Amino acid sequence: MCQRDAILCRKFPHAEGNHGMAEQQTWDIVTGPGITALGIAASRSVESSMPDALIDDPFGAEFLGAVDSPVPFPLRWPAEGEPVSDQHKLSLHTSRFIGVRSRFYDDVILDAVRAGAGQVVLLAAGLDTRAFRLSWPSDVTLYELDQPQVLAFKNDVLRGTRTAPGCRRVAVGTDLREDWVGALTAAGFLPTVPTVWVAEGLLGYLPAAAEEHLLRRIHQLSAVGSRLALDRFADLDRLASDTATLEQLSRRSGIEARSLFNTEPRPHPARWLYPNGWTVREDDDTEVADRYGRDLTDPFTGQATRPWLDTRFLIAELGRG
């Protein structure tokens, strides 16, 4: 049976730093990382309009219609012969990747709950609507963690759709750069229950120390059989020195990529996960796209460019040690 979603908001002090999320004290849906949440919601809407759609997300237009976005994101694939701006070409190409990424996480989550995971934790959930658009077993609880202002906007819009979540949904307003564990456990999270942890599109914004802190906390809160899914930029050293790519991405997208992404050097997540009892599998974005029959070539130029930057997808599972 569906239960009414709960909203628990708690603010914490914020991390010091000079890159990515560390520069942002708080943000709402049209500032900082919040604007990327709008862009991802728009990309899911575009993907849903495709004949070969990998997901069905009807909520993107609702979110974009409820706010005056500083970036004009497209919400559907253009008709043949319809004029398309350079900015929209970038968004439309990126939506092909977002469709793959969304489906990847959909499948990881559903495979885990079918195998017995009773909890799902979406870290930096943004405008994620999986609680509403996926078919859930009746006994699953899904926790959405993000900035309070982002979750407040999201819940206002979703209430207006009069759509009920398909699982028990708990929205937890907190800051992942600080002590989010207290907020999650206060919301009812049980460390003894196998959990699916989802860090979709998150690590690229975190300082290196915050990423390690996040992995440690996930491990401490995970029962045997828990799973972790994340994506990461493949070559941070190259990205840090490739200012031309980030400048071009910022110019074409209308979003200041250079100040959003954090390019501090850091070890591969597996270097921490393996010694702590996690098995790890990683694939690149092309391999994942191939599994879904999706060509990520730029549909407008035919080039094999990656405006979403070179991405790796990782799945880990905690064994008995």
Q: Is the pLDDT of residue 240 over 70?
A: no
The three-state secondary structure class of 198 is strand
- Domain membership flag for residue 81: no
pLDDT of residue 4 exceeding 60: no
pLDDT over 60 at 22, yes or no: no
50 within a domain of the structure (yes/no): no
pLDDT of res. 30: 64
Which helix (DSSP H) or strand (DSSP E) does residue 7 occupy?
strand 6-9
The pLDDT of residue 118 is above 70? yes
Q: What is the pLDDT of residue 69?
A: 79
**With 80 as the cut, is the pLDDT of residue 254 above it?**
no
Give the residue with greater pLDDT, 320 vs 299.
299
Residue 56 placed within a domain: no
Question: What's residue 17's pLDDT?
Answer: 34
What CATH number has the domain bearing residue 289?
3.40.50.150
Do 32 and 259 meet the contact criterion of CB atoms below 8 Å apart? Answer: no
How many domains does one find in the chain? 1
- Calculate the alpha carbon distances from 234 to 76, 195, 203, 263, 285 in Å: 29, 26, 11, 11, 10
pLDDT in tens, 183-211: 999 999 999 999 999 999 999 888 899 99
The yes-or-no verdict on residue 25 having pLDDT over 80 is no
Tokens of 19: 């890159």
Q: Indicate the pLDDT class of residue 293, thresholds 50, 70 and 90.
A: very high
Q: What is the pLDDT of residues 132-187, one digit of tens each?
A: 999 999 899 999 999 999 999 999 999 999 999 999 999 999 988 778 999 999 99
Tokens of 99: 């469709």
Residue 107 has pLDDT above 70, yes or no: yes
pLDDT over 70 for what percent of the chain?
Answer: 80
Q: Which pLDDT band, with edges at 50, 70 and 90, does 305 fall under?
A: confident
* Alpha-carbon span 99 to 314, nearest angstrom: 17
Of the listed ranges 58-72, 199-213, 300-314, the least confidently predicted one is 300-314
Residue 307 lies in a domain: yes
Looking at the domain assignment, is residue 73 inside a domain? no
* Residue 35, pLDDT above cutoff 60: yes
**Residue bearing the bigger pLDDT, 263 or 292:** 292
Domain that includes residue 178, residue range: 6-33+95-318
Backbone angles phi, psi at 169, to 5 degrees: -115, 130
Average pLDDT of 74-98?
Answer: 91
pLDDT at 8: 39
Mean pLDDT of 78-86: 90
Residue 201 in domain: yes
Average pLDDT, integer, range 38-48: 95
DSSP letter (8 states) at residue 203: G
